[in-house]
Amino acid sequence: MRNDVELAYWWQKIQNKVKALPFKPVDILLVGATGVGKSSTINALLGPDVARVGHSPSPETLATQSYQVDEWLRFWDSPGLGDGVAEDAAHAKKIVDLLYKSYMHSDGTWAWVDLVLVVLDGSLRDMGTAYQLLEQVILPCIETERIMVVINQADMAMKGRYWNHEKCCPEPVLEAFLQDKAFSVQQRLWEATGIQISMPVCYSAYEHYNLVEVMKALYHFMPTGKRKLPDGGINKHSPQLSDSNPRGMGSHLAALMSIFK
């Protein structure tokens, strides 16, 4: 059930936090598979029709779109993954490009994206592609404290079973299942990368379940400063995208394509 009072309270806290920053706006990149509910998440948190939600087989977010909430906060909705090997590789490369998109200032080179919000699909048993995206595309490109992982579609996590439609919340069996899923995501990434992300929040944008916890997490993850990049916008951990480099764009695209085979 949506709690508009608490949502408004935490939204005000987020606004107060970003307004106190010495820069604006804070840019947040949303990443996830096609149909995972990135646009629905924006609308559930910030109000209807902030982002156009796709209901047809063709996703609405075919290219990166920005949603300027106000002068202090802006969301970037990246293309969804899961549309095919070649398309996914191109989308993954675009995500890398966005994470290293930079601008010059008198005090150095700064990243455009301040925070990544990764939306996973709680209705899927096999989240291998999502793990690989995090392990091989997101985590190498941005600091862990700037990666917020959430799990949408909590109401469909057990194919709709044990969801209390009257109260719009999970019953104990489903709640335990969701807790296990969130822990599994955290543990899998730790085992694969040695990096421990914060425990993902499970929620349902459609059912307006647990949105306050998502907003609380967003407040916690809101950066306190811009991302500093070395001159040139690429750091030692980033994939090299130069065509002239034998380990450059061609080999990197091949690696990205191998993720989605």
| 190-209 pLDDT tens trace | 998 899 999 999 999 999 99
Mean pLDDT computed over 96-112: 88
pLDDT greater than 90 at residue 250: no
Average pLDDT, the chain: 83
Residue 51 confidence class, pLDDT cut points 50, 70, 90: low
pLDDT of 190: 93
Report the pLDDT averaged over residues 145-166: 97
Mean pLDDT (whole number) for 13-32: 93
Which stretch of 15-19, 156-160, 248-252 has the lowest confidence by average pLDDT? 248-252
- Distances in whole angstroms, Cα of residue 119 to Cα of each of 66, 142, 177, 201, 224: 17, 16, 18, 10, 22
Domain 4-259 sits in CATH at 3.40.50.300
Burial level of 64, CB count in 10 A (0-12/13-18/19+)? middle
pLDDT-based confidence at residue 105 (cuts at 50, 70, 90): confident
- Residue 181 in this model has a pLDDT that exceeds 90: yes
Residue 5 pLDDT greater than 80, yes or no: yes
Predicted local distance difference test score (pLDDT) of residue 235:
46
Domain ranges in the chain are: 4-259
- Residue 136 in contact with residue 129, Cβ under 8 Å? no
pLDDT, tens only, 127-148: 777 888 898 889 999 999 999 9
Supply the pLDDT for residue 125: 79
pLDDT of the residue at 49: 60
Q: How confident is the model at residue 3 (pLDDT cuts 50, 70, 90)?
A: confident
5 touches 214 (CB < 8 A): no
Lookup result for tokens 């719009």: 168
Confidence (pLDDT) at 232: 53
* pLDDT reading at 16 higher than 70: yes
Statement: residue 56 has pLDDT above 50 = no
pLDDT at 1: 56
Pairing of strands 108-111, 228-229: antiparallel
Amino acid found at 94 = K
pLDDT band at 219 (very low <50, low <70, confident <90, very high): very high
Going by pLDDT thresholds of 50, 70 and 90, the confidence category of residue 231 is low
Asked if the model's pLDDT at residue 8 lies above 50, the reply is: yes
- Rounded to 5°, the CA angle 99-36-131 comes to 60
